[in-house]
């Protein structure tokens, strides 16, 4: 049996406030962002998992064949763009913004696809999916600013947000 028979397999780097967890998740026919945003799932099963500490992300602490990840404890997930389902973009309904997100221990910058006009007095990240999508994004460890992680897309856990800022390009 191959993984293709059971759907697609997404390679991802999962970040908590203390660890980087790299592994694969069988997502079925949908992108990983759909699984993260599914409110009926509290945990995700990852396979071929490598765990490292944030302060030494290149140093593998352990490798396990299977691990269950608590979605509520994830800070963010770095994925390929195809694993991040974004709203349909039309000329009148969406605009790209420069975004800065702060989380415990991290700062993340990237592109956010939002409404054509965002009134920050009315707009709220609480109205978004549980994991919001930033593309062409970079995450930085606050305590180690020289330590950065980049990806085509970063899925940010909205429940972990400290701040969410948008600006024009």
Two tokens, residue 22: 């790299």
40/112 same-domain check: no
The tens place of each residue's pLDDT in the chain, 169 residues long, gives: 344 456 789 999 999 999 999 999 999 999 999 999 999 999 999 999 999 999 888 899 999 999 999 999 999 999 999 999 876 665 555 788 999 999 999 999 999 988 776 666 666 677 788 999 999 999 999 999 999 999 999 999 999 999 999 888 7
Burial class (CB in 10 A: 0-12, 13-18, 19+), 31: buried
Distance separating alpha carbons of residues 133 and 156, to the nearest angstrom: 6
- Shared domain for 32 and 51, answered yes or no, is yes
pTM over 0.75: yes
CA angle 98, 95, 151 (to 5 degrees): 45
**Could you tell me the CATH number of the domain that includes residue 94?**
2.30.30.100
Q: Are 25 and 71 within one domain?
A: yes
């Amino acid at each position: 049996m191959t993984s293709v028979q059971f759907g697609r397999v997404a390679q991802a780097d999962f970040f908590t406030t203390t660890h980087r967890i790299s592994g694969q998740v069988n997502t079925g026919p949908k992108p990983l962002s759909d699984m993260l945003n599914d409110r009926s799932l509290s945990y995700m099963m990852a396979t071929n998992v490598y765990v490292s500490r944030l302060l030494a992300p290149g140093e593998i602490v352990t490798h396990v064949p299977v691990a269950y990840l608590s979605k509520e404890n994830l800070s963010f997930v770095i994925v390929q763009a195809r694993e991040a389902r974004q709203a349909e973009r039309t000329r009148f309904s969406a605009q790209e913004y420069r975004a800065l997100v702060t989380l415990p221990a991290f700062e993340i910058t990237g592109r956010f696809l939002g409404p054509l006009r965002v009134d920050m007095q009315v707009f709220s990240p609480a109205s978004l999916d549980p994991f919001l999508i930033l593309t062409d994004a970079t995450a930085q460890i606050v305590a180690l600013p020289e330590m950065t992680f980049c990806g085509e897309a970063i899925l940010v856990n909205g429940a972990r947000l400290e701040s969410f800022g948008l600006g024009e390009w």
